[in-house]
Amino acid sequence: MTAVHPALRARRRRAALRNLAFLSPWIIGFSVFFCYPLLSTVYFSFMHYDGFNAPVWSGGRNWSYVFTEYPLFWPALRNTLWLVVVMVTLRVVFGLGVGLLVTRIRTGAGFFRTAFYLPYLAPPVAATMAFVFLLNPATGPVNHVLGGIGIPGAGWFTDPHWSKPALTVLAVWGIGDLMVIFMAALLDVPREQYEAAELDGAGAVQRFRHITLPNIRPIVMFAVVTGVIQTMQYYTQPLVAGKVASGIIGNSGQQFEPGYPDRSTLTLPQLVYNLGFQRFDYGSACVVALVLFVLAMAFTALLMRRRNGFLSAED
């Protein structure tokens, strides 16, 4: 025993060094591009800092400013909540619906799957600009077609009551990823269960409720929680939609009051940009960043509690 010890220790040390070497890109990246900036964010949230003059301690001033005076914070939080409830629900429902449909399509299955999947790949900026055009109340083809069948079109991205539904249509258009995930889950449901249920005389609705749904519940949960996390980060689409629909001259430096029309497309991540990079109030921007951090972490924790599978190492 005593004779083996030094050799064993040497081997252990070699293994530890090897682990460290393989992990080093992540360790460096995590420290430099995550830990350090996260701690700095906390630090700056208590500082008054405009990027030019040295940061000055300001206590809870930024915090109280964001929560009680900054006029965009509560609308952004309300919008995010609206989007989380409506957008995530519809995306999951439609994603599952299209997933179910695709598993039943016999003829031209390849065409249908590709057609349902492609919008997911469209670059967000391009897709958003396309939708602002498509849903343009004056010249867009959607209202034209709706008018043709006798439905009065909406103002979409130019109407505060319709801008979030318009964003939701855009989000539902891009459910290709969910379709694929649901499709894979549906194909994993043991076929015998359906056969047994059919012998017992269960109808399609009963089969869905008592066999399909329980089997794919973990995936539905996964889709809901990741959907909520994604919606928390919702940035490019609402920003570009607001800018393009309001007719702001692109990136000319023209000041843009975010959330057009009437703050209806404002989301939390946009506030970080507005406070930090338009108003040079880095301290308050850090407060919003930390609010985002706490919300995102809460849902990530939920996700990992639900799916410890993430950590399973089958070795």
Partner 1 sequence: MTHATLDPGAPDLPGAPSRTASRTGTAAGTRARRAARRRAALEWTAVHSLGIAAAAFFVLPFVFVLLTAVMSDQQALTRSLWPHPFVWSNFRTVWDTPGFLTWWRNTLVYSVVGTVLTVVSSLPVAYALAKFRFRGRNTVMVLVISTMMLPPQVVIIPMYLFWAKQLHLDGTLWPLLVPLAFGDAFSIFLLRQFLLTVPREYTEAARVDGCGELRTLLRVVVPMIRPAIAAVALFQFFACWNDYFGPQIYTSSNPAAWTLSYGLESFKGAHHTNWNLTMAATVLVMAPVIMVFFFAQKAFIEGVTLTGVKG
- Residue 195 binding partner 1, by CB under 8 A: yes
Peptide bond into 261 cis (omega under 30): yes
Start-to-end C-alpha separation, the chain? 28
- Residue 257 binding partner 1, by CB under 8 A: no
Tell me, by CB under 8 A, how many residues bind partner 1: 128
Specify whether the CB–CB gap between 91 and 175 falls below 8 A. yes
- Residue 240 binding partner 1, by CB under 8 A: yes
Q: Which of 210, 262, 277, 278 binds partner 1 (CB under 8 A)?
A: 277
- Smallest gap from residue 236 Cβ to partner 1 (A): 4
Specify whether the CB–CB gap between 299 and 229 falls below 8 A. yes
In this chain, which stretch among 59-67, 82-90, 115-123, 159-167 interacts with partner 1, using CB under 8 A? 115-123
Specify whether the CB–CB gap between 261 and 246 falls below 8 A. yes
Return the DSSP state at 107: T
CA angle 128, 152, 92 (to 5 degrees): 45
- Residue 6 binding partner 1, by CB under 8 A: no
Q: Which of 13, 26, 161, 206 binds partner 1 (CB under 8 A)?
A: 26
Distances from the Cα of 285 to the Cαs of 42, 173, 207, 252, 275, in angstroms? 11, 32, 51, 23, 5
- Residue 297 binding partner 1, by CB under 8 A: yes
- Residue 133 binding partner 1, by CB under 8 A: yes
Q: Which of 57, 252, 255, 305 binds partner 1 (CB under 8 A)?
A: 252
- Smallest gap from residue 199 Cβ to partner 1 (A): 7
Rg (CA), the chain: 25
* 112/99 Cα distance (integer angstroms): 11
- Smallest gap from residue 157 Cβ to partner 1 (A): 14
Site for partner 1 in 34-53 (CB under 8 A): 34, 36-38, 40-41, 44, 51
- Smallest gap from residue 268 Cβ to partner 1 (A): 8
- Residue 65 binding partner 1, by CB under 8 A: no
Both tokens of 62, joined, read 């930024």
**Nearest-10 Cα torsion for 235, 238, 243, 247:** 170
Q: Which of 88, 223, 224, 266 binds partner 1 (CB under 8 A)?
A: 223
Place of tokens 């990079």: 277
- Residue 313 binding partner 1, by CB under 8 A: yes
